[in-house]
Structures are given as C-alpha cells and as structure tokens.
C-alpha cells in the first residue's frame, strides 16, 4: 500500500490539513510538538478501521474541543491493483462515508458498503500485521515488532529463499505432532506419565512373577525333598529292620558268653585262694631261709671286724712310738735354728752400724760444702750490690762519648786551622805547651777559640776564632760536662773503669749461679736443716750401738768385713731353718698317722660292738622261730600247697581256654556295634521323620496358596503388559522421532527463510557500522544477537541507542523485502532520539537507501535528526496558522501542498 494523499478536517485542533505523499522515498513531516503529526497516524487508522458512525472513544477523542463539528478524513491510496479515494466524516448523527475507486475499475460506493469494500480490499492486499509491525509510534518502547506474524513478510522470505512456504495446515500439523509427543513425553523430553506407569507396572509384574516363581521353585524343592525323604525313610525302615535282627543275634551271643564267664568264675576264685596259700607257704619258707642266711652273714662279718680291730690296734702302738721319736728330732733342730738366727741378727746389726758410720761421714762432708757455697753467694751478691754500672749504662756512656767526638769534629771543621811547616828546626810553644819541629815537619792546629803560638823570644802569635767557633766550642764543653756527669753517676772515673766494673759484676753473677748449683747437688732432696738433723741422729745411733754391743764375738773391722760376716751368718741360719722345717714335717706326719689309727680303732670297735649286738639278736630270732616251727615243717607245708595249686590250675586253664576260643571281646564288640547301628539308624529315622513332618506341614500351608495358578495369571498379565509397553514404546519412539524430524526441518526452513531478512539487515547495518557488522535472528525474526568488531552481544545487552538503531534497521529491511508487492508504508514517529550526531548521518543514509524501494513516512519535531536523509520530501506543519485561519475563515481549506525536497 502506498499513501498518496491524506486530508484531515476538524480533527482535534486541526481545522484542515492536507498532505500529499510521493509514491516512494522518504517524506519528513516536521513541526513542533502538539502540531498534530501523530494525528495523521491516528486519522489513517480511524478511516481504515472504524465505521463513520462509530462511538469508539478513539473517535470521540478526535472531536474538536468546544465546537459542534465532526472530524473528517479523506485518504487517497494505491493498494495492490486498487487506487481509491476514501472519505469518512465521523458523526454519530450524520455520518458520511464514500469511496471512489479509480483502478482497476472505477467504482463509487457510500456508507457501510463503502466501508466493507475497503476492508475487503485491505484484507486482500494489505498485510495488517506487517503494517503494525513496521510502525514506530511516538513514546513507544524500543522494540522489534512482530515480524514473524507478518504473512506477507513470511511469504516474501519464502519466495526469496526458494522454499515452498508452510501453510496453516503444516503449522497446525506441527502442533498436533507436539501434542501427540506429549502423550508419551513431558515437555522436557522425559518419559510421560503413561510410559512411566506402564514401565512401572511391567516391572512390578515382573517382580511379582519372580517372587511367585521363587515361591513355586521353593515349593517344588520341598516336594522333591519330601519325595526324597519318603524314599529314604522306606530304605531306612528296611535297614532298621535288618539292624534290629542283627542286634538281637549279637545280644544272644553275648548272653551265651556271659554264662560261660559266670561258670568259670568259681574256678578262678579257687585258683586264686590256692595260689594265695602257696604264696604264703613260699613266703614263710623264704623268710626262714633269709633269716638263716642273715645269721650266717652277720657271724662272718663279726669275725672279720674282730680281725680288723686287732690289726689296727697293733698299728696304733707302732705309730705312737714313731711319733715320739720324730718329735724329739724336731725339737733339737729347733734349738739349732734359734742359735743360727740370733747370730745372723747380730751380724746384720753390725753391718748396719758400719753403714751408719759411712753415711755420717758423707753427710758431714756435703754439709761443709753447702756452707761454703752459701758464703760465696753472699759475697758475690754484696759485690753486685755495690756495682752501679750496667751494660746499659756503659752504652749510655759510649753514646755520650760519641756525641763529644762529633762536637769536637764539628769544632775542628768550623774553626780556623793553623799550619806550621818548619823550614828549619824549630822550637816553640803552643798554648803554653812546648813542641819542636824538624825541617819539613808540619804541625796543624785548629783554632777553637784562641791559639797562642810563641816562639820563644822570637815570636808571640795569638790566633782567635770567630763567633761560630765559639758556639761549636760551647757544644764541645756541654758534651764533656754531660760525660763527666755520667761517669760520676755510675761511680767510675773513666770508661776503662766502667768496663772493668762490669766484668767484675758479671763474674760475681756467674759465681752465684755456680755456688747455687753445687749447693743443690749436695743437698739433693734435703734441706740444710734436715741434713743437720740426720747428722745428729747418725751420730747418736753410732755412739749408742757400740756402747750397748757385747764384746763377743767381735765386730768386723770394716764395712766389707761386716758384710761378709753377715752373709755367712745368714747362710747358716737358712740351713738350720730348712732342717728344722723338714724334721717338724716328719714329726707332724707321724702325729697325724697316730691320730688316724686311733680313730680307726675307735670306729672298728664301735662297728664290732654293733654287729655283735645284731648277730645276737638274729640268733635269738632264729632260735625263737625254730622253736615255733621247725625248718622241716615249713618245707612240708610248702610242698603240700604247691601240689594243690597244680591241680586247681589245670581245671581253670581248661575253662579259660574254652572261653578264649569264643573271642569274648569280638562278641562284645559286635554286640556293641549292632546296638550302635540300630540306635544310629533309629536316630536317623527319627530325625528324618521330624524333617518330613516339618516339610509336610510347610507344604500343607503353601501348597494350597494356588501359587501355580497365580504365577500363570501373573505371567499372562506380564506378557500382555509387556506387549502393551512394547507397543507404547514403539509409538512413543515414532512420535519422538517424528517430532524431532519436524523440528529439525522447521528450524532449517526458518534458517533458510530468515536469510534474506538477515542479509537485508546486515546490508543496511553495515552502512552504519562497517564490514564487521553482523546479526542473528530468533524464531520470531527479531534480532537476537549483534556482532561488531568480533564482539557478539545479545540484543538486550546493547545500549538504548544501538537497540533503537537496530530496531529501525530491521523494520526498514523488512519493509524493503515486501516493497515489491506493494508493501506497506513505514511510519516512524519521532525516532532516533537516542542516536548521536555521528550516527544520525549514517542513519540518514540508511533511510535514503530504504526510501528508494519503499514509502517511509517520518514524523518529527526535530528536523535536524533527518537532515542527512538524501532526497527526502519535507513537509512543515504550522498548526497555529491553521487554527487562526480556520477561526478567521470559518471554512476548512487545504493548508499545504506537496512537500518540497529538503
């Protein structure tokens, strides 16, 4: 649809307004606020949608205030193959509608008929959804419109994509498929209630079947076990009967055996009595024999003891004699030993006396040397004490002497000198000292202060030195004075004396050292006081010894002789001691032998007495026994008993042999086994019978539960439910697959279809943003994401300005797509309010581009925003003039003509 002309009369504040629109391109209708720009849109909607007699509040709202006139709208449009002019006066009392169709066939209609005809034309040729979607109304929120609802846009997109468009039928089919899938699945794709219930039921039935099968298996097992028990019990009964017969047979054998054993018992008892009697007779005879033997043995022993005692007594007497003889020998040797040891003691003390003497002499000599050394040290120390000069003092003297020599040399050098060379023998005096020269002899003299030469009688010459010589001279004197002072302080007259004194001092020091060394050597480890004390003791001892000693034997004359005598006495004492010890040992041995024999004799006597007593006792016992029973009687008794035993034994042995031949243990064992076997089998039977009773009771209870039939019923039910579930699963899978394929195909179709729109938006958008601009569309054909310079953002993340620009671009692209089929006008009421100055320029270019293909109507109070729209037709509304003019003229006339290009 293209709008060619729109005329409003008495529309709100507008008395009369007519705007003519070019068939394509951008038309900018500008004017201040409340001038009635939006009223143009409203007038368009009213004339196309509502009848002239409508009482709708939208109509009422357009009536001029304070005037009793009706709003009029006259519209001239091209729509599809139609071109028509359409007029409505919205008056409930005198409504007016007329339609003049110019193309394709001229028609004129009025009233309701005209209204219906126009609606019919619009329904046939105008995509109302798109018409609304492409409009941006003043103050409306920035949105992208419902492009996906646009029939013509979708058709255009299908045509552009080369696909056959899906019709209502397909969309409805898709809904039914979704509904069908929802019979089996939840919206999130999970198995639905029927599937879950059916599966649960199958599982529950399977569980029931398993449970029943288990129960039935157990029942079968019980039955089989009972059958086995019955068979086993039958076998056991047979075994038990056999065992019973066997037990009875074995017990009979046992009873026979026991009878035989009973018969043998008296024989065994008699045999035992006879045996006891024989044993007793034997015992009595044996006792008599033992008694006789004992008497004989003890008599023999007593004799042996007597003989032994006699021999020991003889030995004891011999030992006593030997003991006495040896004791006497030992006593003599002891005396000799005592004498020899006394002599040795005297000789030893003599030798010690001589040693003391020698020691006293040596100590006295060393004592004298020590005293002498002490004297030498005292003297030397006194000399050292007196001597003041030291090696250091000597050095100071030498240093002072050197300083004096240096002063004198300086004086010599600095003083005038006097040279006398004799040409002839010459005698003269110099400084009062007489000297003589032979011809050619020279004498030189330094004039230190004043030299006076006098040749007696001939000449008297005085030479004086200058001032510098006097100073040097003074230095010489100072040096001499200091030297003299040094000598005095060291107590020497000159250097030679100093040297001599020092040598004396050093000699004294050497003397002290030597004397002290000797003193130490003589004292050794003693102090002088100790030495004094020792000498005193020695003197006392030597003097006492000789006074006390006996005159005889005489002392040796020398120490050596004394030593010889001592050694000799020692040797003799050793010999005497050895002999004494040998003889003492022999005497001791003899004593011990004597004692030993004496003890033996005592012991033998005791034994002899004891044995004699025993012998007497036994002899008495034998005599008493024989007096009661003689030996012969005993022998007779034994013989009689033995004979009786022999007879009884033969009878018993015969009976026992017969018993043994029956193998009593075997008979007892077999009887025991037979009893055990029977008892064991009986126990088994009882046990198995008990088991059978329990199983039979269990079977009685379970067997009547109808498990088999219940299992068959449950199995049948499970089978049916499984089949139903399989069918349900198959249907669910088919529905799921069908829905999935439908969704995939629809999505692919959508992607293919949205391609041209997306391309159109990108083409326009790149005018604004450059080559990196791209977008994605969602199912509703709204821009969902924008990519710019590699960054992708959701539409909602974009700034308000960017959202506004993108929404506008999307509308323009959609409008351009459907423009070929006539399309719809794009009406933009006060847009781009959020767009900055730079982008307004590009948006102008985009509008210009869109305007080449479709009719774009811009309503604005801010004409500057659209200053960059190339080739736009601009219409300026001046509302006040219209009001005034209407008021002045009272009639409505066209106010403006075709707009002029900006």
Partner 1 sequence: MLGLRDKGAETSYAHPVGRGTRIRFLHSSDWQLGMRPHLLDEGRAELFSQARLDAVRRLGQLAAERSCEFLVVAGDVFESNQVDRRTVVRGLEAMASIPVPTYLLPGNHDPLDPGSVYLSEVFLSRCPSNVTVLTQRGLIELQPGLELVAAPWPSKRPATDLVAEACRELVPAGLRILVGHGVVSSFEANRDNPATIQLDAMEKLIASGCLHYVALGDRHSVTKVAERIWYSGGPEATDFGELASGQALLVELDEEFCSAEPVPIGTWRFLRKDFDLGAAEDIEGLRAWLTEQPDKARTIVRLALRGTLTLRLKAELDELLEEEQELFAAIDWWERESELAVMSDDGDFGALELSGFAEAARERLMAEAQPGQPDAERARESLALLYRLAGVAR
Closest approach of partner 1 to the CB of residue 159, in Å: 13
Closest approach of partner 1 to the CB of residue 54, in Å: 38
Cβ closer to partner 1: 155 or 334? 155
CA–CA dist 839, 832 (Å, integer): 9
Q: For 512-535, give one letter per residue: b (16+ CB within 10 A) or e.
A: beebeeebeebbeebeeeebeeeb
Helix/strand/coil (H/E/C) assignment for every residue in 224-258: HHHHHHHHHHHHHHHHHHHHHHHHHHHHHHHHHHH
- The CA–CA distances, whole Å, from 345 to 110, 349, 350, 560, 575 equal 193, 6, 9, 17, 15
Pairing of strands 14-20, 25-30: unpaired
Cβ closer to partner 1: 300 or 720? 720
Closest approach of partner 1 to the CB of residue 815, in Å: 24
Q: How far is CA 86 from the centre of its chain?
A: 94
Closest approach of partner 1 to the CB of residue 723, in Å: 9
Omega before 104 within 30 of 0, i.e. cis: yes
Cβ closer to partner 1: 189 or 901? 189
Closest approach of partner 1 to the CB of residue 752, in Å: 10
Q: Which helix or strand (DSSP H or E) is residue 75 part of? A: strand 72-79
Closest approach of partner 1 to the CB of residue 234, in Å: 13
Closest residue by Cα to residue 75 from 27, 34, 17? 17
User: Residue 338 corresponds to which tokens in the numbers above?
Assistant: 């005592």
Cβ closer to partner 1: 168 or 624? 168
Cβ closer to partner 1: 215 or 885? 215
Closest approach of partner 1 to the CB of residue 742, in Å: 5
CB-CB contact of 897 with 874 (8 Å): no
CB-CB contact of 468 with 493 (8 Å): no
Closest approach of partner 1 to the CB of residue 729, in Å: 10
Closest residue by Cα to residue 890 from 92, 10, 35, 36? 10
Residue 753, C-beta contacts closer than 8 angstroms, at least 6 positions apart: 154, 157, 158, 160, 161, 163, 165
- The CA–CA distances, whole Å, from 518 to 372, 512, 684 equal 10, 10, 130
Closest approach of partner 1 to the CB of residue 179, in Å: 9
Closest approach of partner 1 to the CB of residue 743, in Å: 9
Cβ closer to partner 1: 219 or 320? 219
User: Residue 628 corresponds to which tokens in the numbers above?
Assistant: 């009661």
Cβ closer to partner 1: 235 or 706? 706
Cβ closer to partner 1: 177 or 867? 177
Q: How far is CA 551 from the centre of its chain?
A: 108
CB atoms under 10 Å from CB of 688, counted, come to 16
Cβ closer to partner 1: 97 or 198? 198
- The CA–CA distances, whole Å, from 405 to 395, 398, 400, 472, 473 equal 15, 11, 9, 12, 12
CB-CB contact of 9 with 50 (8 Å): no
CA–CA dist 568, 562 (Å, integer): 10
User: Residue 701 corresponds to which tokens in the numbers above?
Assistant: 């209870």
Cβ closer to partner 1: 285 or 710? 710
CB-CB contact of 46 with 59 (8 Å): yes
Cβ closer to partner 1: 438 or 704? 704
Closest approach of partner 1 to the CB of residue 177, in Å: 6
Closest approach of partner 1 to the CB of residue 171, in Å: 9
Alpha helices in 494-558 (DSSP H): 495-523, 528-548
Cβ closer to partner 1: 728 or 858? 728
Angle at 52 between CA 48 and CA 57, to 5 degrees: 85
DSSP state of 821: G
Pairing of strands 791-794, 783-788: antiparallel
CB-CB contact of 138 with 29 (8 Å): no
Cβ closer to partner 1: 52 or 714? 714
CA–CA dist 698, 281 (Å, integer): 81
Closest approach of partner 1 to the CB of residue 691, in Å: 12
Closest approach of partner 1 to the CB of residue 151, in Å: 14
Q: How far is CA 232 from the centre of its chain?
A: 69
Cβ closer to partner 1: 49 or 170? 170
Pairing of strands 25-30, 855-860: parallel
Residue 62, C-beta contacts closer than 8 angstroms, at least 6 positions apart: 11, 12, 39, 42, 43, 46, 71, 90
Query: By the criterion CB under 8 A, which residues form the site for partner 1?
Result: 158, 163-167, 169-170, 172-174, 176-177, 180, 216, 219-220, 222-224, 226-227, 230, 695-696, 699-700, 703-713, 715-717, 719-720, 730-731, 733-735, 737-738, 741-742, 744-746, 748-749
Closest approach of partner 1 to the CB of residue 202, in Å: 14
Cβ closer to partner 1: 205 or 608? 205
Closest approach of partner 1 to the CB of residue 230, in Å: 7
Cβ closer to partner 1: 174 or 545? 174
Cβ closer to partner 1: 456 or 690? 690
CB-CB contact of 315 with 599 (8 Å): no
The full length of the chain comes to 902
Cβ closer to partner 1: 289 or 733? 733
Closest approach of partner 1 to the CB of residue 681, in Å: 23
Residue 206, C-beta contacts closer than 8 angstroms, at least 6 positions apart: 718
Closest approach of partner 1 to the CB of residue 709, in Å: 4
């Amino acid at each position: 649809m293209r709008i060619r002309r729109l005329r409003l009369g008495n529309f709100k504040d507008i008395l009369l307004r007519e705007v003519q629109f070019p068939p394509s391109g951008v038309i900018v209708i500008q004017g201040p606020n409340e001038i009635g720009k939006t009223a143009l849109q409203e007038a368009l909607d009213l004339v196309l949608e509502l009848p002239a007699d409508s009482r709708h509040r939208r109509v009422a709202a357009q009536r001029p205030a304070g005037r009793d006139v009706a709003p009029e709208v006259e519209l001239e449009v091209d729509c599809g193959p139609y071109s028509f002019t359409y007029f409505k006066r919205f008056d409930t009392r005198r409504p007016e509608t007329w339609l003049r169709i110019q193309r394709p066939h001229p028609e004129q209609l009025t009233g309701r008929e005209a209204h219906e005809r126009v609606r019919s034309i619009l329904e046939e040729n105008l995509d109302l959804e798109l018409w609304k979607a492409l409009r941006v109304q003043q103050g409306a929120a920035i949105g992208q419109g419902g492009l996906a609802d646009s029939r013509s846009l979708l058709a255009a997109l299908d045509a552009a994509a080369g696909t056959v468009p899906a019709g209502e039928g397909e969309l409805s089919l898709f809904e039914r498929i979704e509904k069908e899938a929802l019979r089996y699945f939840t919206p999130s794709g999970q198995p639905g209630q029927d599937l879950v219930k059916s599966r649960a039921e199958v599982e529950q039935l399977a569980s029931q079947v398993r449970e029943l099968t288990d129960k039935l298996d157990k029942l079968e097992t019980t039955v089989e076990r009972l059958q086995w028990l019955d068979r086993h019990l039958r076998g056991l009964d047979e075994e038990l009967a056999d065992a019973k017969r066997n037990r009875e047979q074995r017990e009979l054998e046992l009873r026979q055996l026991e009878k035989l054993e009973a018969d043998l018992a008296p024989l065994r008892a008699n045999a035992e009595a006879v045996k006891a009697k024989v044993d007793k007779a034997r015992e009595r005879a044996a006792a008599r024999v033992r008694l006789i033997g004992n008497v004989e043995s003890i008599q023999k022993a007593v004799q042996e003891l007597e003989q032994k005692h006699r021999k020991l007594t003889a030995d004891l007497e011999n030992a006593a004699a030997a003991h006495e003889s040896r004791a006497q020998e030992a006593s003599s040797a002891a005396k000799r030993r005592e004498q020899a040891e006394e002599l040795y003691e005297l000789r030893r003390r003599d030798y010690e006396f001589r040693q003391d003497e020698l020691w006293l002499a040596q100590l006295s000599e060393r004592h004298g040397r020590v005293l002498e050394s002490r004297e030498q040290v005292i003297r030397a120390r006194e000399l050292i004490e007196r001597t003041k000069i030291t090696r250091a003092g000597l050095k100071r003297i030498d240093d002072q002497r050197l300083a004096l020599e240096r002063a004198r040399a300086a004086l010599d050098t600095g003083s005038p000198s006097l040279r006398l060379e004799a040409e002839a023998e010459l005698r003269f005096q110099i400084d009062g000292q007489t000297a003589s020269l032979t011809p050619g002899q020279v004498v030189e003299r330094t004039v230190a202060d004043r030299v006076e030469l006098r040749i007696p009688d001939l000449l008297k010459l005085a030479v004086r030195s200058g001032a510098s010589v006097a100073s040097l001279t003074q230095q010489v004197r100072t040096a001499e004075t200091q030297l003299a002072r040094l000598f005095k302080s060291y107590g020497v007259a000159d250097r030679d004396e100093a040297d001599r004194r020092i040598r004396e001092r050093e000699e004294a020091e050497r003397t002290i050292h030597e004397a002290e060394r000797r003193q130490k050597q003589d004292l050794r480890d003693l102090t002088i006081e100790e030495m004094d004390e020792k000498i005193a003791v020695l003197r006392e001892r030597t003097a006492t010894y000789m006074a006390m000693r006996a005159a005889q034997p005489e002392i040796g004359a020398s120490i050596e002789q004394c030593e010889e005598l001592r050694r000799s006495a020692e040797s003799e004492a050793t010999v005497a001691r050895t002999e004494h010890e040998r003889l003492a040992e022999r005497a001791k041995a003899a004593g011990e032998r004597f004692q030993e024999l004496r003890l033996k004799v005592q012991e033998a006597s005791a034994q002899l007495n004891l044995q004699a007593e025993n012998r007497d006792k036994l002899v008495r016992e034998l005599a008493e026994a024989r007096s009661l029973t003689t030996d012969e009687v005993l022998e007779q008794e034994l013989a009689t008993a033995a004979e009786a035993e022999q007879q009884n034994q033969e009878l018993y042995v015969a009976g026992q042999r017969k018993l043994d031949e029956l193998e009593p243990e075997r008979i007892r064992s077999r009887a025991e086994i037979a009893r055990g076997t029977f008892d064991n089998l009986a126990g088994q039977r009882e046990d198995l019978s008990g088991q059978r009773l329990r199983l039979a009771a269990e079977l009685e209870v379970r067997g009547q539960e109808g498990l088999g039939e219940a299992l068959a019923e449950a199995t049948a039910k499970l089978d049916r439910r499984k089949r139903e579930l399989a069918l349900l699963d198959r249907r669910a899978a088919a529905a799921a697959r069908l829905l999935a394929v439908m969704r995939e195909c629809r999505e692919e179709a959508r992607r293919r279809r949205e391609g041209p729109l997306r391309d159109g938006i990108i083409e326009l958008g790149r005018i604004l943003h450059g080559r990196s601009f791209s977008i994605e569309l969602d199912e509703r054909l709204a821009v969902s994401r924008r990519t710019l310079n590699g960054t992708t953002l959701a539409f909602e993340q974009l700034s308000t300005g960017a959202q506004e620009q993108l929404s506008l671009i999307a509308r323009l692209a959609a409008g351009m797509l459907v423009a070929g089929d006539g399309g719809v006008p794009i009406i933009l009421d006060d847009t781009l309010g959020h767009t900055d100055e730079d982008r307004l320029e590009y948006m102008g270019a985009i509008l210009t581009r869109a305007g080449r293909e479709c009719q774009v109507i811009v309503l604005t109070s801010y004409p500057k925003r659209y200053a960059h729209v190339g080739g736009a037709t601009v219409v300026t509304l001046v509302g006040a003039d219209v009001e005034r003019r209407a008021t002045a003229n009272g009639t409505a006339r066209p106010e403006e003509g075709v707009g002029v290009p900006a």
